[in-house]
């Protein structure tokens, strides 16, 4: 079914101009389908970009906190061994220093001393999502890890 509407427009010479507008018959409803298909897809892409960037930032934070906690633990040297000429870690003090840094940064994690000369720190950061929450993904959890090795010259 084609709809026709007449438009009358007076011109300067007092004549009348008539124009017929017709709606194309094959385009009915195409904008609605296009909107229904594209809008959710675009929201998903924007959500992945925004929340993907937040995940990258959370991963960088988890790694940075793990780096600093490992450095803090790596500075806990056994002073009595150092006076005797050897350089070793004070294991309990290293673990305590790294855990204290994690607590100050408010990031959960674990600390271990491996082979008596390496502090291994693993952190976990949970990031809330912004747009992916619309599809049921409310948080993202990332981990970071770092080691600090005691080097002897």
pLDDT in tens, 11-34: 555 444 455 555 556 555 567 777
- Residue pLDDT, tens place only, 37-79: 888 888 888 888 999 999 999 999 999 999 999 999 988 887 7
Task: Provide the token pair at 121.
Answer: 């720190």
Note the pLDDT tens digit of each residue in 87-138.
788 889 999 999 999 999 999 999 999 988 899 999 999 999 988 887 888 9
Closest by CA to 91, choosing from 64, 113, 122, is 113
Phi, psi of 12 (to 5 degrees): -65, -25
Nearest-CA neighbor of 128 among 119, 120, 137?
A: 137
pTM: 0.70
Return the residue matching tokens 């952190």: 123
Helix (H) or strand (E) holding 75: none
């Amino acid at each position: 079914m084609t709809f026709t509407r007449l438009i009358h427009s007076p011109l300067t010479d007092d004549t009348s101009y008539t124009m017929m507008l017709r709606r194309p018959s094959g385009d009915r409803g195409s904008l609605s389908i296009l909107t229904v298909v594209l809008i959710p897809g675009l929201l998903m892409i924007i959500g992945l970009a925004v929340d993907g960037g937040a995940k990258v930032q959370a991963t960088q934070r988890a790694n940075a906190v793990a780096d600093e906690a490992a450095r803090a633990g790596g500075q806990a040297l056994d002073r009595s061994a150092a006076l005797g000429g050897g350089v070793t870690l004070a294991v309990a003090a290293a673990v305590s220093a790294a855990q204290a840094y994690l607590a100050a940064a408010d990031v959960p994690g674990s600390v271990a001393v491996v082979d008596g000369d390496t502090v291994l720190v693993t952190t976990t950061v949970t990031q809330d999502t912004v747009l992916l929450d619309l599809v049921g993904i409310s948080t993202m959890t990332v981990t970071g890890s770092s080691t600090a090795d005691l080097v002897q010259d």
